[in-house]
């Protein structure tokens, strides 16, 4: 009798553990990473950009993801080293000195550092997370396979974006063509 009770308890505990694990796996949101190839989001919009890879002068420096970041720099009126503001002609997908300088300025303005000189000029999870606060949902639904529409509302300009049915972020480049924000190629050149 004791043997059957202990065995029954063990079986019940095992079933409960398996069910709990399955529920945890099925309810956790998928996370984006550079290996996905795109700036991407899943399910709810909040937090889409907080798990992205790093783009910088040394990482994915020529990419359509960099081009999307340059749209954000322009939207906020970020300055280049010359003091001139980031313009349409600066949106080329190359993370050079102008983009690095403007990124440091924006990291400072976002409150991530005390001064631009203390910023690293790399767009990683913290910088992406701070930028996402300016992404305003304007339409669409978040169910899998559906498109969600946004307006990125910078301090100076706004720019339209969307997250397509595959979860890939799409934006308008400097020539007003729709581009998917990918890490592996530069379609903005």
| Domain tally, the chain | 2
Cβ–Cβ < 8 Å for 51, 33: yes
Are both 5 and 87 inside the same structural domain? no
Q: Which domain holds residue 117?
A: 34-180
Task: Report d(CA 148, CA 21) in Å as an integer.
Answer: 31
Are both 7 and 85 inside the same structural domain? no
Position 185 in a domain: no
Are both 19 and 72 inside the same structural domain? no
Task: Report d(CA 88, CA 105) in Å as an integer.
Answer: 18
Task: Report d(CA 47, CA 181) in Å as an integer.
Answer: 17
Are both 45 and 130 inside the same structural domain? yes
Position 187 in a domain: no
Are both 41 and 118 inside the same structural domain? yes
Are both 127 and 167 inside the same structural domain? yes
Are both 16 and 64 inside the same structural domain? no
Are both 10 and 47 inside the same structural domain? no
Position 171 in a domain: yes
Task: Report d(CA 172, CA 160) in Å as an integer.
Answer: 7
Secondary structure of residue 140 in the 3-state scheme: strand
The per-residue pLDDT string of the chain (189 residues; one tens digit each, 9 = 90 and over) reads 555 555 554 444 444 443 334 333 333 334 446 778 999 998 888 888 988 989 999 999 999 999 999 999 999 999 999 999 999 999 999 999 999 999 999 999 999 999 999 999 999 999 999 999 999 999 999 888 999 999 999 999 999 999 999 999 999 876 778 999 999 999 988
Q: Check residue 12 and give its pLDDT.
A: 47
Are both 115 and 46 inside the same structural domain? yes
Are both 100 and 169 inside the same structural domain? yes
Are both 18 and 103 inside the same structural domain? no
Surface-to-core class of residue 164, CB atoms within 10 Å of its CB (0-12 exposed, 13-18 middle, 19+ buried):
middle
Indicate left, alpha or beta for 140 from its phi (over 0: left) and psi (-120 to 50: alpha).
Answer: left
Model pTM above 0.85: no
């Amino acid at each position: 009798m004791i043997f059957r009770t202990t065995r029954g308890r063990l079986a019940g505990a095992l079933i409960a553990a398996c069910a709990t694990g399955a529920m945890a796996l099925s309810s956790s949101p998928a996370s984006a990473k550079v290996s996905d190839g795109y700036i991407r989001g899943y399910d709810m919009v909040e937090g889409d950009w907080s798990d992205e890879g790093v783009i910088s002068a040394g990482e994915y420096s020529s990419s359509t993801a960099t081009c999307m970041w340059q749209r954000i720099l322009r939207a906020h009126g970020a300055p280049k080293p010359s003091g001139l503001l980031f313009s349409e002609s600066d949106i080329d997908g190359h993370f050079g000195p102008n983009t690095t300088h403007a990124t440091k300025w924006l990291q400072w303005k976002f409150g991530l550092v005390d001064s631009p000189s203390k910023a690293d000029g790399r767009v990683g999870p913290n910088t992406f997370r701070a930028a996402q606060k300016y992404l305003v949902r304007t339409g669409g639904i978040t169910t899998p396979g559906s498109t969600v529409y946004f307006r990125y509302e910078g301090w100076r300009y706004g720019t339209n974006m969307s997250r397509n049915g595959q979860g890939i972020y799409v934006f308008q480049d400097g020539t007003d063509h729709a581009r998917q924000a990918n890490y592996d190629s530069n379609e903005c050149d």
